[in-house]
Structures are given as structure tokens and as C-alpha cells.
């Protein structure tokens, strides 16, 4: 049986437009179950253990900013952790698709859902031949934002008959952490374009040029558009 897993994460919220949070971004990481990623997972777990982070769930945004569990980690430690997770993403034979809403174009949560629904439906319709190859498609989301969960349920269920939606905990799947990292990179891409990269982000990546060269160009090779 051919099975496809789709891991979903988001950046932003359904609240009103705010200058410091102008985007709503969703990443969908697609993994064909015929591609074995367990050696990559084992390698990443071993690398995280070497940083005294056994069984750790990496959260890319706080890692960049040095927040939460990473507040006592200097940048010279946080950068290699981020890079190890990115190498896992880059080598695990996955692809991803991005949904992007500019929140100043949405007056309320209903309009935001409409924008995301249209983009997701277009993506599925343009790749129906690909999705129909699979006997079973499982969409994993942590239901962190109920409005997005409703968009996923309504659009996937309307357009695909072989679909199952599951609520997950991020710690259960490394590919959910991959979706989080790619969502963070797509947010940084938008901020770099709009020249709104923060000082802490610049310190972490050294420069916008290094961010683009080391991460964004590599991420582009994984895009499924």
C-alpha cells in the first residue's frame, strides 16, 4: 500500500493585522512512506544527545532567538543545533509546500481562512495525479489553531477520498519539527524580502546573505509547487 504523510505547521495567528506580525504562513511537509528516514532520525537524535539534549523536540524560532530552554545556550551552540536539524530536513527525501497570507489583505479570520483555503485547494488540484498515486494519505497537525484545522479538514476531505486527519504532538514526529523549521525559514524569507529581519536573527545567521546562501537556497530545492 502506497502511503503519504503530510505534516503541517503554521507561523502567525488569526488575530487582526499587526505591524510586527504581518504574515500567516503554513508549511506542508510531504513524506512518501516508501522512503525510509529512520537512519536520518537516529543520526539527528545522536547529534542532539551530544548537545545534552536527549529526546529533544527542537523549536526553531526559540532556538534562533535564544528563548525558553535555549536561553542559556550561546549562539555558538545554538547554530550547530539548528544546522543539524536543517541537515536532517535536507537529506530525508521530503518535499514541502508553502501557503502564505499577507494579513493586511484579510479583514478578519473568515477572509484569512478563505485565502488559505483557495491556496490549498489550488495546490491539491494542480497535483491530483500525484495525490492519486497513494492508497492512503495522512495529514498530521497538532490542532494548535482551530481555524487552520478546519481549513485542512474541509479542503483535504472535499478533494481527496483517501484522506485521514490526525492530531499529533510535535515531540512524536521529527517531520513535524521539520515543518516547524521550514515554516520559520519561510517567515525569515519574507522578513528578508521586506527588510524586517530582527537584530537577534541577524546575530544568529550573521547576515541576510548568509541566511539566503546557507539555508534558503537549499530549502528551495525541496519546494513542491
CA-to-CA distance for 29 and 52, rounded, in angstroms?
28
How high is the pLDDT of residue 216?
98
Q: What confidence tens digit (pLDDT) does each residue in 26-72 have?
A: 999 999 999 999 999 999 999 999 999 998 999 999 999 999 999 99
Q: What is the pTM of this model?
A: 0.95
- Please write the tens of the pLDDT for every residue from 124-141: 999 999 999 999 999 999
Q: Are 78 and 51 in contact (CB under 8 A)?
A: no
CATH number for the region 3-220 comes to 3.30.420
Q: What's the angle, vertex CA 120, arms to CA 119 and CA 123, rounded to 5?
A: 85
Phi, psi of 31 (to 5 degrees): -130, 120
Amino acid at each position: 500500500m502506497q502511503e503519504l504523510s503530510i505534516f503541517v505547521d503554521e507561523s502567525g495567528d488569526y488575530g487582526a493585522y499587526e505591524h510586527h506580525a504581518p504574515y500567516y504562513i503554513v508549511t506542508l511537509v510531504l513524506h512518501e512512506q516508501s522512503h525510509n528516514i529512520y537512519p536520518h532520525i537516529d543520526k539527528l537524535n545522536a547529534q542532539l544527545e551530544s548537545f545534552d539534549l536527549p529526546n529533544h523536540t527542537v523549536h526553531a524560532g526559540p532556538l534562533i532567538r535564544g528563548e525558553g530552554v535555549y536561553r542559556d545556550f550561546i549562539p555558538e551552540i545554538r547554530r550547530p543545533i539548528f544546522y543539524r536539524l536543517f541537515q536532517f530536513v535536507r537529506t530525508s527525501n521530503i518535499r514541502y509546500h508553502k501557503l502564505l497570507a499577507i494579513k493586511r489583505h484579510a479583514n478578519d479570520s473568515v477572509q484569512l481562512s478563505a485565502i488559505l483555503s483557495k491556496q490549498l485547494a489550488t495546490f491539491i488540484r494542480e497535483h491530483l495525479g500525484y495525490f492519486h498515486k497513494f492508497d492512503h494519505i495522512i495529514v498530521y497537525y497538532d490542532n494548535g489553531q482551530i481555524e487552520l484545522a478546519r481549513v485542512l479538514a474541509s479542503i483535504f476531505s472535499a478533494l481527496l477520498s483517501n484522506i485521514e486527519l490526525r492530531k499529533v504532538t510535535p515531540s512524536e514526529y521529527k517531520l513535524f519539527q521539520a515543518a516547524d523549521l521550514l515554516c520559520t525559514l519561510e517567515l525569515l524569507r519574507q522578513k528578508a524580502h521586506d527588510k524586517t529581519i530582527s537584530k537577534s536573527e541577524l546575530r544568529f545567521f550573521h547576515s541576510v546573505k548568509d541566511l539566503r546562501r546557507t539555508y534558503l537556497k537549499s530549502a528551495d530545492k525541496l519546494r513542491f509547487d
